[in-house]
Amino acid sequence: MSKFKFIAITLIVFTFFCGAYVRAASLPVSAAATGAVVPELEVVAWPQGKAVKLNELRGKKFAVLFFWTISEQGTKNFAEIAKISKEFESKDVVFIGIGIDSAESIGNFVRLKELPFSVAADDKLSSVNFYMRERDRVPMAAIIDKEGRLVWRGLPTLLPKVLPEVIEGKYDLKGSIERENFSKAVMVAMKIQDYPSVLKLLDAELLIYPDNMELLNFKVRLLGTLMKEPDKALACLDEVIARQPKNIKLYEMGLKILRDEKRFADLGKWFDRIIKEFGEQPLLLVKFAQQEMNQSIEQLRLENAYNLCRAAYNAPKFKNNREKGFIMGEYARSLYYCGRPDKALEVSKEAMVLLKDTPEYEKAKSYVTYYNKVLTLSRQIQ
- pLDDT tens for 106-121 read 999 999 999 999 999 9
pTM of this structure: 0.71
CA distances from 250 to 198, 213, 246, 254, 308 (A): 21, 9, 9, 7, 18
- Rg over alpha carbons for the chain, rounded to the nearest Å, is 28
Which pLDDT belongs to residue 25? 43
Please count the CA atoms within 13 angstroms of the CA of 246 that sit on its side-chain side. Answer: 3
Which pLDDT belongs to residue 215? 92
How far is residue 317's CA from residue 204's CA, in Å, rounded to a whole number? 43
Give the chain's residues under pLDDT 70: 1-29
How far is residue 375's CA from residue 344's CA, in Å, rounded to a whole number? 10
**Residue ranges per structural domain of the chain:** 3-177, 291-382
153: number of Cβ within 10 Å = 23
CA distances from 23 to 45, 68, 70, 317, 328 (A): 23, 12, 14, 50, 49
Spatial contact of 348 and 371, defined as CB atoms under 8 Å apart: yes
Q: Which H or E run includes 349?
A: helix 341-354
Determine phi and psi for 106, rounding to 5 degrees.
Answer: -70, -45
- pLDDT tens for 134-180 read 778 899 999 999 999 999 999 999 999 999 999 999 998 988 888 88
377: number of Cβ within 10 Å = 10
Which pLDDT belongs to residue 296? 87
Starting at the earlier edge strand, list the strands of the sheet with 140-144: 45-48, 119-121, 93-99, 62-68, 140-144, 150-154
Which pLDDT belongs to residue 128? 92
Which pLDDT belongs to residue 136? 86
**Class for the domain spanning 291-382:** mainly alpha
**Class for the domain spanning 3-177:** alpha beta
